Amino acid sequence: MKKLYSVFAILIIATMTLSACAPSVAAQPVAVEAEQAQVASGANWNFDYIQQVPPIMMRDALLETVGQTSEPVPYYYEEAVKLSGHSCMIVAAAWSMTRLALEELYPAGEIPVRGQILVDMPGAEDEWNIGVFGEVMTYITGASPKTGFSGSIFAGNPLTVRKNKMVYTDEPVGTAPPKMEFIFSRMDTGKSVAVSWNIALVQPPTNEKILQEPASKLTSGTATDEEAKKFIQDWNDAALFVLENAGKLDGLVTVRVAE
Q: List the pLDDT tens digit at each of the 259 positions of the chain.
A: 433 333 333 333 343 343 434 333 333 333 334 444 444 567 899 999 999 999 999 999 999 999 999 999 999 999 999 999 999 999 999 999 999 999 999 999 999 999 999 999 999 999 999 999 999 999 999 999 999 999 888 877 899 999 999 999 999 999 988 899 999 999 999 999 999 999 999 999 877 777 888 888 888 898 899 999 999 999 999 999 999 999 999 999 999 999 7
pTM for this model (two decimals) = 0.83
pLDDT of amino acid 14: 40
Q: How many C-beta atoms lie closer than 10 Å to residue 44's C-beta?
A: 5
Q: Are 190 and 146 in contact (CB under 8 A)?
A: no
pLDDT of amino acid 95: 98
pLDDT of amino acid 153: 84
pLDDT of amino acid 41: 64
pLDDT of amino acid 75: 98
Task: Report how far residue 235's alpha carbon sits from residue 30's, in angstroms, rounded to the nearest whole number.
Answer: 32
Angle of the 89-105 helix axis to the 77-84 helix axis, nearest 10: 130
pLDDT of amino acid 213: 84
Please compute Rg for the chain using Cα positions. Answer: 20
Distances (CA, A) of 1 to 4, 5, 8, 167: 5, 6, 11, 42
Residue of 68, 69, 93 lying closest to 80 (CA atoms): 93
* 45-66 burial code (b ≥16 CB/10 A, e <16): eebebbbbbbbbbbbbbbbbbe
Residue of 167, 177, 100, 169 lying closest to 140 (CA atoms): 100
pLDDT of amino acid 102: 98
Residue of 116, 107, 118 lying closest to 192 (CA atoms): 118
Enter the DSSP assignment of 55.
P
